[in-house]
């Protein structure tokens, strides 16, 4: 397994990140355990979850599955760089969501309890919250770091200027600030190239793309027995609407002799700001198959062909003006 630093930090993580969102809703607990064991066998040490995953308000279903897995011992927790998130609704009372200092501290304690660990390696803000000043947010995060409950802090779904404001506020407090940004980035979602990726490069944030296969679109047309996301509403509609683009993509991947999903992941791994795309396997086969992307090297001709099929964006402000 290839290893890379997470942004400017000294933290070393695998170049694929195990996403756990399917654990509970779509993958049974026993199958989730098997996938996590296999991920460690492959050297995938970077795992991502969130307190809202499992989609039962306040229960943290997926975090609980991870906690019971870690409780089995055998060095499981110590081998993992564990990332979770705070922001979403965990209850119906006013301070059971978002990024007040009160909720950040409470949510962290609850995530620690569910995951049966005494520290979180990477604590990510799942979304920006404009109603809380950065002084309040960093006060809460700084305290968690001082207490040893959080090691690093990251963002998710931030705009470039949010990243700038957050890290400038952190500088005023003489603390490390954000070390990563988890953003929606794939060949079908390249808007972050205008300002988010340049901000990450400038401030030294590692980029962790979510939905790298665009909901399954970039894996190509599904087989008749495929029960995954490609047969579900939004992706199925996109495949019909953008059939010509999909066919060009599949033809290009056929020319270079690689599976479309593997090429899509490989393309992300070729982007200089990307540390580790998040793979969210429902099955062991999907996990094993994703490793092929690490072996694919895309030449200049192939990258140019990909850009013709999925045009990207210039860095701002050039994208918007001369």
Out of 53, 69, 123, 203, pick the active-site residue: 53
**CA–CA separation, 23 vs 49, rounded Å?**
10
In order of 114, 123, 231, the CA distances from 85 in angstroms are 13, 6, 29
Look at the alpha carbons of 88, 90, 95, 100 in this order and tell me if their dihedral is positive or negative.
negative
Q: Please provide residue 115's backbone torsions phi and psi, each rounded to the nearest 5 degrees.
A: -90, 0
Q: Is 272 exposed, middle or buried (0-12, 13-18, 19+ CB in 10 A)?
A: exposed
Distance of CA 136 to the CA centre of its chain: 25
Q: Is 301 exposed, middle or buried (0-12, 13-18, 19+ CB in 10 A)?
A: exposed
Contact, 169 vs 125, CB < 8 A?
Answer: no
Contact, 280 vs 22, CB < 8 A?
Answer: yes
Known active-site residue 53: yes
- Residues 6 or more apart in contact with residue 318 via CB below 8 angstroms: none
Contact, 13 vs 46, CB < 8 A?
Answer: yes
Distance of CA 116 to the CA centre of its chain: 22
What is the pairing mode between strands 278-279 and 46-48? Answer: unpaired
Contact, 282 vs 228, CB < 8 A?
Answer: yes
- Residues annotated as catalytic are 53
């Amino acid at each position: 397994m290839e290893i890379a630093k997470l942004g400017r930090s000294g933290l070393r993580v695998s170049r694929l990140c195990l996403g756990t969102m399917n654990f509970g809703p779509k993958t049974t607990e026993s199958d989730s355990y098997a996938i996590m064991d296999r991920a460690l066998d492959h050297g995938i040490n970077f795992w991502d979850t969130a307190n809202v995953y499992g989609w039962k308000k306040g229960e943290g279903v997926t975090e609980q599955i991870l906690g019971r897995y870690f409780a089995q011992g055998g060095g499981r927790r110590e081998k993992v760089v564990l990332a979770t998130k705070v922001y979403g609704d965990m209850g119906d009372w006013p301070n059971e969501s978002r990024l007040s200092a009160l909720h950040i501290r409470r949510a962290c304690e609850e995530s620690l309890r569910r995951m049966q660990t005494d520290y979180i390696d990477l604590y990510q803000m799942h979304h920006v919250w404009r109603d809380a000043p950065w002084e309040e947010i960093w006060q809460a995060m700084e305290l968690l770091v001082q207490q040893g409950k959080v090691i690093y802090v990251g963002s998710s779904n931030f705009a470039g200027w949010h990243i700038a404001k957050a890290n400038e506020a952190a500088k005023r407090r003489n603390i490390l600030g954000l070390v990563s940004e988890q953003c929606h980035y794939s060949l079908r979602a390249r808007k972050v190239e205008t300002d988010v990726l340049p901000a990450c490069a400038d401030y030294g944030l590692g980029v962790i793309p979510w939905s790298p296969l665009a909901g399954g679109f970039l894996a190509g047309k599904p087989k008749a027995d495929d029960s995954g996301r490609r047969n579900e509403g939004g992706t199925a509609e996109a495949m019909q609407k953008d059939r010509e683009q999909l066919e060009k993509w599949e033809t290009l991947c056929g020319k270079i002799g690689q599976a479309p999903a593997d090429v899509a992941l490989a393309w992300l791994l070729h982007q200089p700001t990307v540390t580790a795309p998040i793979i969210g396997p429902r099955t062991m086969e999907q996990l094993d198959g994703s490793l092929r992307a690490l072996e694919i090297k895309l030449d200049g001709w192939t990258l140019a062909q990909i850009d013709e099929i999925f045009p990207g964006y210039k860095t701002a402000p050039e994208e918007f003006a001369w």
